[in-house]
Chains A and B, each alone.
Chain A
Amino acid sequence: MSRVVRVVHYLNQFFGQIGGEDQAGTPCMVKMGPVGPGLAFKAMFGDRAQIVATVICGDNHMGENLEESSAAAAALVAQYAPDILVAGPAFVSGRYGMACGAVCQAVSQELGIPVVTGMHEENPAVEIYRAHVVISPTGKSASKMRDAVQAMAKLALDLVEGREPEPGAYFPQGKRRLVVAAHSGAERAVEMLLARLRGQDVVTELPLPNFEKVPPAPALEDLAGATIVLGTEGGVTPVDNPDRIEMSMATKWGRYSLEGMAGMDPAKFTANHGGYDNTAAKQDPNRVVPLDVMRELAADHKMGSLAEFFYTTAGNATTVDNATRFGQEIVRDIRAQFKEKVGVVFTST
């Protein structure tokens, strides 16, 4: 772009120098040229870009009617025919972050121009808007204004001038972009293999998750004094699946009572797991949660006692994060009841 880039800047009432909390209800208004942090942007932009106008809205005014107010703000922005909208940075401020996200999204949709805002990763607006709006990661507070402005200004110029921003310049949006490679996957794979055989360093195209190995826990002294807890990822639940554990990509686990049961009764328990044919498990859930033989073993004194409940989830396409969380939560649950001499028998389909 050879001419000077026209920028409109969005700010809240505080950074827009209208006032503090007492002015948070201010309806949208415009001040010509850069205001407050806009001056820092002006310094960063140099002669490549110019903030022609600053749209300022109170955070409460925005927050109370996000859709309408952000549309009104977008209409104001449009009047100045910008090439790009820059909003904030909002750092960790929730209301301001929401306002920046909403205004950016509205402008992006209405005007079809690039938009950039900046927030700290803990700003709740990040999760809500990251897929729709380019958000530059910033520090937590205005003490990091300089760094934030520097990063946002660079990102803004990259976007408006058609350059690919650097990796990490903005929060991932969850978009997959198709790229045509110079060589086919087969050729690249063979090249990688040959490089490996030559002892050269090979950089993977797709980093695989790193599973932590944990040293084995010490063995129990004996089974006679131990409590054994049953668990499964086979998706076995009471027939009505009261906690609605999903059969795929499960987001929860359950703990259900085995009290008074000599075995897993198919009239009381079912199996819902999208990764295997549940027929055999539904016919006889003991095939996945071996309660019947556990009871026999306890009766024959082959172990101390069996916990009167079992843990369950469906381990089909469960995310590593969720699975890890389930494990941690289940351990806490077990420890809350059994301080020592406890072992787990976990079954998987």
Chain B
Amino acid sequence: MERAGIPAALICTLTSIAASVGANRIVPALGIPHPLGDPSLSLEDEKRKRRSLVEKALETLVSPISEQTIF
């Protein structure tokens, strides 16, 4: 994506792998089987966490960076 000039945010748990394969805008997630969720929380709390994580991802798309960044 990035090579084509499309900023791409990657929400993932294994951020070191993301960095080693070349992702530039990396956002740590909430867990491998549920990157944007947490079954131990109530739906309301889950959605709140999900929303703030997505907001962070959107932020990375408007953040000018010159190198790989884990936000």
Contacts and interface: CB of A to CB of B under 8 A. Distances in A.
Interface of A: 211-223, 226, 228, 234, 276-281, 283-284, 286-288, 290, 292-294, 296-297, 302-303, 327, 330-331, 334-335, 342-349
Given A343-B9, A343-B61, A346-B8, A287 B37 contact: yes
Closest 8 CB pairs of A and B: A287-B37, A348-B12, A343-B61, A216-B24, A344-B8, A280-B34, A287-B34, A293-B51
Interface in B23-71: 24-25, 29, 32-37, 39, 46-47, 50-51, 53-55, 57-58, 61-69
A248 B46 CA distance: 28
B2 A214 contact: yes
A9 B51 CA distance: 71
A345 B39 contact: no
A297 B54 CA distance: 9
Contacts of A213: 22, 68
Given A217-B2, A287-B37, A346-B9, 11 more contacts: A211-B20, A214-B3, A215-B2, A219-B63, A223-B61, A293-B47, A297-B58, A344-B1, A346-B1, A348-B11, A348-B13
A292 B11 contact: no
B36 A287 contact: yes
Contacts of A287: 34-37, 39, 46, 50
A207 to B, nearest CB: 15
A344 B6 contact: yes
